[in-house]
Amino acid sequence: RCPNGELPLHMSLKRSAPDNLVILLADLYPDAVHQTGEKDVALPLHLATVYCASTRVIITLLRKYPEALDVQDEDGDTPRTLVRKGLNDTARDAIMKPTVYWTTLLEDFRREAISDIAKTQDEKVTALTKKLYNMERKLEEAWKKEQHMLIKEKDLEKTLQEFQGRCEDLEKFHSANKRVTVCSQCSQQLIYGE
């Protein structure tokens, strides 16, 4: 509250501030649409009506607190009884609509917004589910490739062991062949005396 007991939203309406500022204040301080000033016990919708605010401002206030249409100020007036000549026709029509029109409209808007949010969330979940499925499929393919590689590795190890066994056999054969050659040379030396 300001030092004089007024809220910024109330002051902006009394001073006919630009629409964007009034709407910004209503958005930044949503509780302010439910509160009265300390000196004049009037809600922002009462002030908007008295000071002939634009249709945009009035509809913004109605959307935020439609029940304000039925609230009386300190003089016993509701926004409907405060309508002045300077108020444009669209704003006048908005204020004169029954409160139930605005509460129903607001509830429908909220329901649609929730439905839109749910739809968006469902779309995100579906997209994430597809991504998860694709990742699982890729992971399964990678696992199969890994299993195939492990089988190949075992086959290669077996082939290597066989090759090492053959190499050992060849070494033994070569060693035995060498001994036979040495023995043969020794025999020839003994026989021929060389």
Return averaged pLDDT per consecutive 10 residues of the chain, 194 residues in all: 74 91 92 83 90 91 90 87 80 85 81 79 85 88 90 89 80 66 63 62
Spatial distance between the Cα atoms of 171 and 141, rounded to a whole number of angstroms: 44
Spatial distance between the Cα atoms of 19 and 81, rounded to a whole number of angstroms: 23
Q: Do the Cβ atoms of 32 and 63 come closer than 8 Å?
A: no
pLDDT at position 126, please?
Answer: 85
Residue whose structure tokens are 């910024």:
8
Residue whose structure tokens are 């509160």:
35
The verdict on pTM exceeding 0.75 is no
pLDDT at position 187, please?
Answer: 62
Q: Which residues does 70 contact at the CB level (< 8 Å), separation at least 6?
A: 78, 99
pLDDT at position 61, please?
Answer: 93
pLDDT at position 109, please?
Answer: 78
